[in-house]
Amino acid sequence: MNMRAPTADLPIIFDDVTVAAGAVTILDRVTLTLASGAPTVLIGPNGSGKTTLLRTAMGLTTPTQGRVTWGAQENCPPTRRAIVFQRPAMLRRSTGGNIRYALRAAGIPRPERKTRMRELLALVGLEHLAGRPARRLSGGEQQRLALARALARDPAVLFLDEPTASLDPAATKAIEDIIRAVGRRGIKIVLSTHDLSEARRLAGEVVLLHRGRIIETGAATAFFNAPQTDEAGKFIAGELLV
């Protein structure tokens, strides 16, 4: 697999970013830097702003206030960024057809597409399902296909929005193994989850969000062993943040 070094889109810098929908503030003056390196895991209860933060980092949601830069550029098209949504939409094509579509969209020359498609299918363990309609795959298989489709863009940074939500343990392990493999290829992973166990397994860096604000951020080991805020302590202890 020809994965390029993560350069162009990183670091992603949120500078005092607010995202509001009408009277509701979804992200509240967020300042954050996402740099290359170990996976960054966004944690927090439902409605804390994790998905909106990922969408804003991807460039799909425009800040109401503040600014986001990608490699010091504003208005940077998402050529080297990719996202896997919590409920990815499957194109009405075969499993292989979905990947071929993403490869074509990424500008991969036609002669290379077949080889790349096979590599991506192998990476996510779906070689045997290449011809099956994507919408007939199981939930876990669809998540893996969405991962392969995102990787077809040869991204420098990959955003994953609750990639294992509602998956069983076996499917969760398969997805997490792929995430680790992708991370080892030098692709920056930014992942959201409300599952603390998953955060412990995958995170190099943790960002705790609550009510649209960043409560605490830091290296995963330090965060889990010595949280600096009451909210983080409660969240780690399994208490409800309301």
Partner 1 sequence: MPDDVSALQLVLAGDPALIAIVRLSLLVSLSAVFFAALIGVPFGALIALTRFPGREGVIVALNALMGLPPVVVGLAVYLMLSRSGPLGSWGLLFTPQAMIIAQTILVAPIMAALARQTIEDLWVEYRDELTAMNIRPAGRVATLIWDARFSLVTTLLAGFGRAAAEVGAIIIVGGNIDGFTRTMTTAIALETSKGDLSLAVGLGMVLIAIVVAVNALAWGVRRAGERLAG
Contact residue for partner 1 among 89, 122, 181, 222 (CB under 8 A): 89
Nearer to partner 1, 104 or 177 (CB): 104
Using the rule CB under 8 A, which residue among 5, 105, 122, 181 binds partner 1?
A: 105
Which residue among 20, 60, 76, 241 contacts partner 1 (CB under 8 A)? Answer: 60
Q: DSSP class of residue 133?
A: B
**Alpha-carbon span 232 to 215, nearest angstrom:** 7
Cβ atoms of 43 and 206 within 8 Å: the answer is yes
Contact 38, 205 (CB under 8 A): yes
**CA dist 42 to 20, 104, 198, 204, Å?**
19, 31, 11, 11
User: Of the ranges 62-70, 85-93, 199-207, 228-236, which one interacts with partner 1 (CB under 8 A)?
Assistant: 85-93
- Residues within window 123-152 making contact with partner 1, judged by CB under 8 A: 133-136
Other CB atoms within 10 A of residue 102 CB: 24
94 binds partner 1 (CB under 8 A): yes
* Shortest Å, Cβ 58 to partner 1: 6
Strand 12-21 and strand 205-210: the pairing is unpaired
Task: Round to whole Å and give the CA distance between 195 and 66.
Answer: 29
Residue 93: CB minimum distance to partner 1, A = 6
172's enclosing H/E stretch is helix 169-184
Query: In this complex, which beta carbon is closest to partner 1, that of residue 161 or of residue 198?
Result: 161
Separation between Cα atoms, residue 179 and residue 146, nearest integer Å: 12
- Give the one residue of 12, 58, 148, 190 binding partner 1; rule: CB under 8 A: 58
Interaction residues for partner 1, span 5-44 (CB under 8 A): none
Which tokens is 100 given?
């071929």
Stretch that binds partner 1, among 12-20, 93-101, 118-126, 223-231 (CB under 8 A): 93-101
Tokens of 224: 């889990």
> Least distance (Å) from partner 1 to the CB of residue 142?
11
Cβ contacts of residue 40 below 8 Å, gap of 6+? 34, 188, 189, 190, 191, 203, 204, 205, 206, 207
Q: Cβ of residue 219: shortest distance to partner 1, in angstroms?
A: 29
Rounded to the nearest whole angstrom, what is the least distance from the CB of residue 31 to partner 1 in the complex? 24
**199 counts as binding partner 1 under rule CB under 8 A:** no
Q: Binding to partner 1 by residue 78, rule CB under 8 A?
A: yes
Q: Is 77 in the site for partner 1 (CB under 8 A)?
A: yes
Binding site for partner 1 (CB under 8 A): 58, 60, 77-79, 82-83, 85, 88-94, 97, 101-102, 105-106, 133-136, 153
